[in-house]
Amino acid sequence: MKKWEKEIFGRKLSIEHGKMAKQSLGSVVLNFNESTILVTANASEKPKPGTDFLPLTVDFKEKFYAVGKIPGGFVKREGRPSEEAILSSRLIDRPIRPLFPKNFHNEIQVISTVFAMLSDDSIETWSITGASLALNLSPIPFNGVVAGVRVGYVDGKYVVFPTQEELEKSKMDIIVAGTNEAVTMVEGESLEVTEDEMVDALMFAHDAIKEIIKFEEEIIKDFNIEKWEVEEPECPEEFLNDFEKLIDEEEIIKRLLVDGKKNKDKNLAEYKKSIFEKFEEEYLDKWSESFYNEKKGFLNEKYEEIFKNTMRRSILDENRRADGRGVDEIRPIECETGLINRVHGSALFTRGETQSLGIVTLGAPMDVQMVDTIFSDEDKRFMLHYNFPPYATGESKPLRGPGRREIGHGHLAERAHKNLIPSEEEFPYTIRMVSEILESNGSSSMASVCSASLAMMDAGVPLKKHVAGIAMGLIFEEDKNVVLTDILGIEDHLGDMDFKVTGTREGITAFQMDVKVDKVTREIMKVALEKAKIARNHILDLMYDAIPEPKKEVSKFVPKIKTVQIPQKKIGDVIGRGGEVIKKIMENYTVEVFIDDSGLVKVTGFDTDKIDQAINHIKNLTTDVERGNIFEGKVTRIEKYGLFVEVLPGKTGLLHASNMKPKPTEFKLGQKVQVKVLKVEGPGKFQLELLEEPKEEKDGGQ
C-alpha cells in the first residue's frame, strides 16, 4: 500500500494505491478535502471479436451514504443512475477516450465510486484525474496523463475548484480537462461572459491541470508497469498500394459536393463499392480470394484514411468544404413559430439538413421535477429534454429510452437557457421544453438551443433576449489549420475539434468542447470564439426577425396562475385542520392552491374570475381584524342580546344590542349589515357597532 499527499489549491489531496480493490488491474482511492472516491480500471485480456471500435464503458456510481442520505422511494437502495451521474460519466469518458491506442479493441471498464462527498469538492471532476491514474497504474495501454479542474469567475478573478458559496456569485462554472500539452475538453455554463474572459478561463484552467499532472507523474514514476502489447496486424505494402492506385481523389471530392446528405452518402457508398469491385476484378488472381478476405479490413482502413485526408486537404488547400461552403459560411436557416395547435408554444428551427421542433409545456407549481441525488435535493422548474429518433437520419432502429448522448445534448441546451429563465415571482409556471430532432446532419444540440428560445417566446415566457448556438470545427495539419463555422456531421467525424458555443448578443451562456489533437493553442481558441460570435449574431438576427419578443399572453390552453404573499404565521389558517380549509377553497372555486414555506400562495385554474375570487378569499382568511376596521358583514346567528356577524371568512364578531337601535329580532339570518370594529378582546374575539340601519325590504308584485 502506498500513499501520496499534497497541499493543492488550498486543500489537501491524497492518493492511495494497493489498499482497496486490489484485484482490479488498476485502482486508486482519491481523497480531496472531505471527499473520497475509488476509481478502478479493468479490461479483457483479449480483443472483442469482430470489433473495429474502442469498447470503453465509464460509470460514475453515486452512493447516497456518501452524503448521509437514504434513497427516497419504496426501495431503499440506489437504482438506475440519475441524469447527474450519467453526465458525470460523460465528463470522465470524453477526455480519456482519445488516449487509447488506435488498434486496442479489448473491452475496458472504468468505474468511479463515491464513498464520501462534500458538494464543495467537485468530486466528479476529480474522477477524471482518478481515471487517469487508475489506467496508468494498470497494464491497460493508455497514451498519456490527463486531469480535470473546475473553474469559477468571482469578482473578476478566476477560482479553481470553487466552493458552492463562490459558485453562487460566479459568472461561470466550467469543467476543463486536458494533458500537459493542451486543453482537450470543456463543459460548462456562464452568465454572458465575453470571448476574452472565456479564453482566459481556459488558460487559467490549463495551468491548474498541469499542476495536477505533475503530481500524477510523480506517482506513476514510483511504478514500473508492464503494459499489454497492442497487436499491430500486418499487411503487405504492395497489397495496399495496388488498392490505392484505383482510388481517384478528384472523384471523391466530386461526390462529396453532391447536394443532400442522403444523396451524398449514397454516391460515396457507391464509389467505395466500385473500388472494391474493381480491385477484385484486377488483383484477385494476384492475391488469392482467401488472402483478400483475410486482409480486406486493411483495404477498408486504407480507403477511409484516403477519404479523410482528401476531405481535409480540400478544406486546407482550397477552402472547399464537403457541401461546397466556405469555411465561415453558415447553412441556410429558417425560423417558424406557432406551428402546432393546442400546445402551449412551438417553433421549428431548420439549419441546412438539421431540424429541431421545439415544444413548450407550461405547468403548475406541482409539476416541478423533484431532484434527489447526492449532488442536489431540489425542485427543478425548468427542464429541457432532447429526443433523437432514428428517422432523423432516415434509419430504422428499435426505439429506446434516452441514451447518454441524448441526456448530454439536452443538458447542454438546458444550460444555455437556465440562467435567463424568468424568476418564479415573475413567471410562476413550471417550464418543460422538448426538442424533437426531425433531421440531423451536424450539431442538433445547437439547433435545440435555437428552437427552445423561439418556442418559449411563442409560449409567452417573458425571456428578455434570445439565445442561439453554433458548432465550430477545426482541421489541423502540421503548420496549417482552419477553423470551420457550422460543421456538418462528416466534418465533426473527420475533423479535430467539436466546439459548441451558445449565447446572446451580450455574451456566452454555455460552452462545450472536445478536441482530438493536443495542438489547440490560445490563438486557435480565440479565433474559434470570435468566429462563433459572428455566426451566433447572424443566427440571432434571424430569430429576432421571426419573433422579436415574447407574446404578451400565454395560450388559452395554459392554466392561469396568480400569486399572493401571506404571512408565514397565517399558513395554517389557509390550510386548516387536516387540510379542510384549503380543500374547500379548491372545491368551491375549481382551482388548485399551493403554498410554500415562505407564505407564497399560488392559485392555478382556467377561469380567471374564480382564481381572483379564491385569492380574495385567501386574503380575507389571513387579514387580521383590527379596531376601526369597517366591513360589510353577514348575520350568522341571532340572540336576544345581539347578533353574530361574519366580517371575514371564519371571523365572526358580536354586535351587541346596546350598539344598535333596531332590536336583534328585527334582523334575518344571512342579512348584510355594515359594521365597524369597536373593540378587539383577543384572538378571534371582537365587538362591533352598527354603522347603518338595515333598509326595509319591499314586497315585490301584487
Provide the greatest CA pair distance for the chain: 126
For the chain, the first-to-last Cα distance in angstroms comes to 108
E strands present in 34-105: 35-47, 56-61
Q: Which residues pair with 481 in a beta bridge?
A: 476
Q: Indicate the pairing of strand 508-515 with strand 497-503.
A: antiparallel
- Is residue 17 within 8 A of residue 5, CB to CB? The reply is no
- Is residue 565 within 8 A of residue 601, CB to CB? The reply is yes
Cβ-based neighbours of 676, under 8 Å, separated by 6 or more: 628, 629, 630, 631, 688, 689, 691
Tell me: is residue 492 an annotated ligand-binding position.
yes
> Cα(265)–Cα(206) distance, rounded to whole angstroms?
39
Site of grid cell 451562456: 509
The grid cell for 584 is 374547500
- What letter does residue 424 receive in the DSSP assignment? T
Amino acid identity, position 594: F
The grid cell for 488 is 456538418
> Cα(407)–Cα(355) distance, rounded to whole angstroms?
18
> Cα(47)–Cα(642) distance, rounded to whole angstroms?
96
- Is residue 375 within 8 A of residue 84, CB to CB? The reply is yes
Q: Give kind and range of the element (H or E) at residue 3.
A: strand 2-8
- Is residue 612 within 8 A of residue 589, CB to CB? The reply is no
Return the closest-CA partner of residue 456 out of 343, 369, 534, 538.
343
> What is the CA 477 to chain-centroid distance, rounded?
34
Q: How many CB atoms lie within 10 A of CB 550?
A: 19
Burial of 203 (0-12, 13-18, 19+ CB in 10 A): middle
Q: Any idea what the Cα angle at residue 629 is, between residues 628 and 632, rounded to 5°?
A: 135
- Is residue 105 within 8 A of residue 54, CB to CB? The reply is yes
Tell me: is residue 196 an annotated ligand-binding position.
no
Q: Any idea what the Cα angle at residue 84 is, between residues 78 and 88, rounded to 5°?
A: 105
Q: Indicate the pairing of strand 651-656 with strand 642-648.
A: antiparallel
> Cα(42)–Cα(533) distance, rounded to whole angstroms?
43
- Residue numbering of the annotated binding site for Mg(2+): 492, 498
- Residue numbering of the annotated binding site: 492, 498
